[in-house]
Amino acid sequence: MSRRPGFVLEVDKSTPPTLFWNGEGFTLETLPEGSRVIYAPEPIKALDDPYGAIRHALLHPVGDRDPLPALLHAGMKLTICFDDISLPLPPMEAPDIRQMVIETVLDMAADAGVDDVVLIAALALHRRMTEDELRHALGDRVYDAFAPHGLLTQHDAEDPDNLIHLGQTDAGEDIEINKRAATSDLLVYVNINLVAMDGGHKSVATGLASYRSLRHHHNPRTMQHSRSFMDAPASELHSSNWRMGRFIADAGVKIFQIETTLNTDTFPSSFSFLQKREWEWNLRDRATFAATSRSLKGVPPRLARQIFHSIESPHAMTSVQAGEVEAVHAITTENVWKQQGVDVQGQTDILTLGLPYICPYNVNSIMNPILVACLGLGYFFNLYRGKPLVREGGVLILRHPTRPEFHPGHHPSYIDFYEQVLTQTVDPVAIHKQFEESFATDPWYIHLYRTGHAYHGVHPFYMWYWCAHALEHLGRVIIVGGDAKAVRRLGFSPASSLNDALEIASDVVGPSPTLTHLHAPPLMMADVH
Amino acid sequence: MSTLLFEHSLPRFAAARIASSFGSGRGAGVGPLRLVEQDAPSLPGEGWVHVDPLLAGICGSDLSTLDGRSSRYFEEIVSFPFVPGHEVVGLLSADAVGANGSVLAAGTRVVLQPVLGCAARGIDPPCAACAAGHVGNCGFLAFGHIRPGLQTGFCADTGGGWSTTGLVAHASQLFAVPEGFSDADAVTIEPVACAVHAVLGAGISAGDVVAVLGAGTLGLTVTAALAHLAGTGRCPAPRALLVGARYAHQQRLAREFGATEALPADQLARAVRRHTHSLSFGGVAGETATLSGGADVVIDCVGSAESISQSLAMVRPRGTVALVGMPGKVTIDLAPLWHREVRLAGAYAYGTESVPGGAAPAGAATSSGAAATGARKKAAVKPKGAPTSEVPTFALAFDVVAAAATGRLVSATYSLGRFEEAVAHAGAAGRRGAVKIAFDIRKGHTR
């Protein structure tokens, strides 16, 4: 049977209730007649022979690059950088794509007699990965060969001895990146492209950069001018990264980019109902939904988190391409769109979203209120090309428990951002001006980032800036089922039910609004005409 | 004529202590406090006058006493039975001379500086502290021609504010209430004076980070006093004034009074850490950890073992912890105090303050409306090395009350007959969205 594309359903009397994610759980909501529900395209068939496809890509690069073996020789300095724990979501079943690609690259390097090889997790300002997480991403063979010898490292954006300032772009943007990577004879970057935002020049220019560099594009102005940041040609975030990437290339840093795409096979078979259309649920799906919902109701949030974070996704690779960064990324983006694109006619007054338990920054961690905002107003709101799904001045309704809970080890500066910044203002521009530098240069956050598993002190600011476009665009944000105090702290309106939320929304969009629900995850991109 | 009388009764002390374990203020109903019919106290001698209370506040020290939890240290400097109430605004029953030497006509609205120092006790020459104007530090509180009592409200001879029959006050205790002040404003003058004294004695330097722990009446008035005094050049201006407040209304008021940040009490150490760019050790992400640096000054307005320990954890080496909240017997680890050479300084009551500026504020030597008017005018900030003047703490407090409108802290008033409810309300003030609870003894006011 051929794969079905994305689908926009119009709700009528016969439409069954619609599944909404609700953090570590889900619920069924009855949407008003005439509402639209956007479903993701079904998964593209996975590559039959992923190792073979990887090898083929390395031997047949695109753009101005020789095949990888031709770039490898004895005595050279080779650095392999790879995307960190934030990708993919949920973490994929073993073997992880990074493992498959890196094993292949290492085999070729060994054949060429390369013995100065270092692996670097491209963290940017994310938290350092744990040993278990690195083993999962790279496999035991790679981990055991490199880590004990100090050859598997994680990018440290605060290590002055291992950063190099390459210069400034014409726009005055500082480029300071990982010294080992920049001074290698070849930098191989291994990417997983979960959404259209990922990859391209962003891999090196962001993933291996310092705060000094990142601040040029991770700021409210850039994010307000990225419409959306999932659509590179319309994204100031990407324009800046592209300027930097070209500067890095001109500075003589030779990059061999390897990008991969995934299908939308997001959840294991035990949760298959999560990626089905509700009217196609069979008896087993209905029973699984009922049993799971019932059992989750009595489970403390901490245990529910453990259950959900143990999910490994059956994501499978749909493409792999290698070579020169821009040529590679053009193909990658096309493949992402092929999997995730859904045509949608016209905007809506109200967009509803059920937010799941996971976002790029709480893998094996807690989804705190700032990350809830970022997932809803940053990532999901921006899953569009052309125009936002919701019209300017419209209402975004999210469903999530939004508990004021934080992982103290992973998100220490988030706690202070929540208690000491959001209590004073929620305006991204004011926050940027008044508080960013103090958090970014705070020695305690830097210490925890460098020695523990903490996100950098400035990271919660970036999450808030990620919301900047949506905050500017929307008339109101409502969170259904969220902790009321936490929701208000974010500057949003709490509602106890979807009906209450619609009632509140009517103050902004009138009594008979149009409503669209984005049925994600699985992830999709709306091409709004 | 009704009076709330506190008697010496060990069984009732014990009952109050047990009852208070169910919540602060619960001791009033079963303890040694009872409503009695009693005449006004007689005048102890020359210079004394009767005062008819209008409003009388319930203070944290009153609650400790009623709950049987105050320190035994005070046993020798109180005398029983006494009428509580030292935060008092009332009317003079006869002409009198005020603390600053001005003549006050009968019917004048006055507030009490309640400390019963050498002047009130007829001790001449006075002790060194009183001679220096530091009446709060009087060494002769158990001597002289009245019975022991550190303040009005703890002395068997003077009466106290919780009475319709009135109290007796010495000239040295009397300050006219500036015109324009409401009774609620006036009843906050005494706690504001405590706050002013605490702020000026805390050793704050320009550019310091100051943390205030607790945001009941004391914490809020300390915040208001520091913001106002710094803003008017009466004390060095800190670069950050951080207030730990458990309840939302306290956080709001602290911000309105001038806090740089007001946040939940358990977040205060984190805010201090961030503002001082300190590292943190001994806890997870600074939650209960000690800071490598810390606040230059921590003003502890709670006075519990927990708050003192928190203060020691968030003050910098060689910094100061000013203890403003009344402590009792506490068990704390003083190793950080020893190791980091922290100064732990008490801050009690008031007297005379040495402040920058050649002239005292308008309230210092006046008994008229000039005080209120003057208080609303910001004094010019004096340059370094400018002359200082000796100013009664109460005069400075008038300025703060006027500028910050501290009368809004009075959240509820009760008649004496409802004393159990009043004290319970005061004991649960924060939780119930209140700050200051007072008795309303004005004629025609029945609540």
Model pLDDT, residue B359: 52
Does B353 have pLDDT greater than 90?
Answer: yes
Find out whether B222 and B212 touch, Cβ atoms under 8 Å.
Answer: yes
Does A436 reach chain B within 8 Å, measured CB to CB?
no
Q: Does A444 sit within 8 Å of B278, measured CB to CB?
A: yes
Q: Are residues A425 and A345 in the same domain?
A: yes
Give domain status of residue A217, yes or no.
yes
The least confident of A188-202, B180-194, B209-223, B383-397 is B383-397
Q: Which residues of B touch A423 (CB under 8 A)?
A: 251, 261, 263
Model pLDDT, residue B23: 83
Q: How far apart are the C-alpha atoms of B199 and B82, rounded to whole Å?
A: 30
Q: Are residues A31 and A61 in the same domain?
A: no
Q: How far apart are the C-alpha atoms of A514 and A344, rounded to whole Å?
A: 14
Q: Say what percent of chain B tops pLDDT 70.
A: 91
Q: Which residues of B touch A (CB under 8 A)?
A: 251, 261, 263-264, 267, 270-271, 273-274, 277-280, 284-287
Q: Are residues A33 and A163 in the same domain?
A: no
Q: What is the chain B residue with the closest CA to A406?
A: B285
Choosing from A262, A286, A319, the residue where a domain stops is A262
Instruction: Please determine whether the domains at B2-176+408-440 and B195-346 fall in the same fold group of CATH.
Output: no
Tell me chain B's radius of gyration from C-alpha atoms. 21
pLDDT-derived band at B283, boundaries 50, 70, 90:
low
pLDDT-derived band at B373, boundaries 50, 70, 90:
very low
DSSP state of A114: -
Q: Are residues A202 and A85 in the same domain?
A: yes
Does A415 reach chain B within 8 Å, measured CB to CB?
yes
Q: How far apart are the C-alpha atoms of A480 and A474, rounded to whole Å?
A: 17
Closest CB to B261 among A420, A438, A442 = A420
Instruction: Write down the H helix ranges in B293-392.
Output: 305-314, 335-339, 370-375
Q: How far apart are the C-alpha atoms of A500 and A488, rounded to whole Å?
A: 16
Q: Are residues A29 and A100 in the same domain?
A: no
B90 class by beta-carbon count within 10 Å (0-12 exposed, 13-18 middle, 19+ buried) = buried
Query: Between β-strands B209-213 and B240-244, what pairing exists: parallel, antiparallel or unpaired?
Result: parallel
Model pLDDT, residue A493: 98
Instruction: Enumerate the β-bridge partners of residue A209.
Output: A177
Give domain status of residue A500, yes or no.
yes
Rounded average pLDDT per 10-residue block, chain A, 529 residues: 87 96 95 97 95 98 98 98 96 96 98 98 98 98 98 98 98 98 98 95 98 98 95 96 98 98 93 92 94 89 93 96 98 97 97 98 97 98 97 98 96 96 96 97 96 98 98 98 98 98 97 96 95
Does B382 have pLDDT greater than 50?
Answer: no
DSSP E strand boundaries for A213-316: 255-262
Fold of B2-176+408-440: Quinone Oxidoreductase; Chain A, domain 1 (3.90.180)
Closest CB to A444 among B261, B273, B287 = B273
Residue B172 CA from chain centroid, whole number:
18
Does A388 reach chain B within 8 Å, measured CB to CB?
no
A401 class by beta-carbon count within 10 Å (0-12 exposed, 13-18 middle, 19+ buried) = buried
Pick the CATH number of B195-346 from 3.40.50.720, 2.30.42.10, 1.10.240.10, 3.40.50.20: 3.40.50.720
Q: How far apart are the C-alpha atoms of B10 and A481, rounded to whole Å?
A: 54
Give domain status of residue A275, yes or no.
no
Does A52 reach chain B within 8 Å, measured CB to CB?
no
Choosing from A224, A247, A262, the residue where a domain stops is A262
Where do the domains of chain B lie?
2-176+408-440, 195-346
Higher pLDDT: B255 or B370? It is: B255
Average pLDDT of span B149-171: 96
Q: Are residues A89 and A29 in the same domain?
A: no
pLDDT-derived band at B446, boundaries 50, 70, 90:
low
Structure tokens belonging to residue B4: 């709330």
Q: How far apart are the C-alpha atoms of A369 and A482, rounded to whole Å?
A: 9
pTM of the model: 0.87
Give domain status of residue A306, yes or no.
no
Q: Are residues A151 and A230 in the same domain?
A: yes
Give domain status of residue A56, yes or no.
yes
Q: Does B279 sit within 8 Å of A443, measured CB to CB?
A: yes
Q: Is the peptide bond before A522 cis (omega within 30 degrees of 0)?
A: yes
Q: How far apart are the C-alpha atoms of B343 and B235, rounded to whole Å?
A: 19
Q: How far apart are the C-alpha atoms of B110 and B185, rounded to whole Å?
A: 12
- CA–CA distance from A171 to each of A44, A209, B383, B427 (Å)? 40, 17, 46, 62
Q: How far apart are the C-alpha atoms of A94 and B114, rounded to whole Å?
A: 77
Query: In this structure, which amino acid lies at residue B12?
Result: R
Residue A134 sits in which domain range? Answer: 50-262
Name the one residue in this structure whose structure tokens are 């003077």: B158
Choosing from A220, A237, A262, the residue where a domain stops is A262
With H, G, I as helix, E, B as strand and everything else as coil, classify residue B170.
strand
Q: Are residues A34 and A111 in the same domain?
A: no
Q: Are residues A238 and A368 in the same domain?
A: no
Residues 6+ apart with CB under 8 A from A239: none
Structure tokens belonging to residue B83: 């009428």
Q: State the number of CA atoms in the 13 A half-sphere of B122 facing the CB.
A: 11
Q: Are residues A29 and A113 in the same domain?
A: no
Does B369 have pLDDT greater than 80?
Answer: no
Higher pLDDT: A201 or B21? It is: A201
pLDDT-derived band at B287, boundaries 50, 70, 90:
very low
Q: Does A408 sit within 8 Å of B284, measured CB to CB?
A: yes
With H, G, I as helix, E, B as strand and everything else as coil, classify residue B86.
coil
Instruction: Write down the H helix ranges in B317-376.
Output: 335-339, 370-375
Q: Say what percent of chain B tops pLDDT 90.
A: 79
Q: What is the ipTM of this complex?
A: 0.81
Q: Does B270 sit within 8 Å of A415, measured CB to CB?
A: yes
The count of structural domains within chain A is: 2
Handedness of CA A59, A65, A66, A68 (dihedral sign): negative
Of the candidates A330, A416, A346, A404, the residue with the CA atom closest to the CA atom of residue A373: A404
Q: How far apart are the C-alpha atoms of A383 and A524, rounded to whole Å?
A: 7
Of the candidates A45, A38, A39, the residue with the CA atom closest to the CA atom of residue A1: A45
Average pLDDT over chain B reads: 90
Q: Which residues of A touch B277 (CB under 8 A)?
A: 441-444
Q: Does B274 sit within 8 Å of A416, measured CB to CB?
A: yes
Model pLDDT, residue B288: 57
For residue A151, what is the domain's CATH number? 3.40.50.11440
Residue B404: CB atoms within 10 Å: 24
Q: How far apart are the C-alpha atoms of A342 and A337, rounded to whole Å?
A: 9
Q: How far apart are the C-alpha atoms of B105 and B92, rounded to whole Å?
A: 7
Give domain status of residue A281, yes or no.
no
Find out whether B364 and B392 touch, Cβ atoms under 8 Å.
Answer: yes
* B229-250 tens-digit pLDDT: 999 999 999 999 999 999 999 9
For residue A398, what is the domain's CATH number? 3.90.226.30
Rounded to the nearest 5 degrees, what angle is found at the Cα of B223, between the Cα atoms of B218 and B224? 100
Q: Are residues A35 and A125 in the same domain?
A: no
Higher pLDDT: B72 or A98? It is: A98
Q: Are residues A167 and A26 in the same domain?
A: no
Tell me the residues of chain A between 437 and 456 that have a Cβ less than 8 Å away from chain B.
438-439, 441-444, 447-448, 454
Higher pLDDT: B384 or A390? It is: A390
Q: Does A447 sit within 8 Å of B279, measured CB to CB?
A: yes
With H, G, I as helix, E, B as strand and everything else as coil, classify residue A152.
strand
Give domain status of residue A396, yes or no.
yes
Q: What is the chain B residue with the closest CA to A410?
A: B285
Model pLDDT, residue B317: 96
Q: Is the peptide bond before B81 cis (omega within 30 degrees of 0)?
A: yes
Closest CB to B274 among A420, A424, A448 = A420
Residue A169: CB atoms within 10 Å: 20
What b/e string do you get for A248-268 counting C-beta neighbours within 10 Å, with b at 16 or more?
bbeeebebbbbbbbbbbbbbe
- CA–CA distance from A247 to each of A173, A250, B109 (Å)? 10, 5, 78
Tell me chain A's radius of gyration from C-alpha atoms. 22
Give domain status of residue A273, yes or no.
no
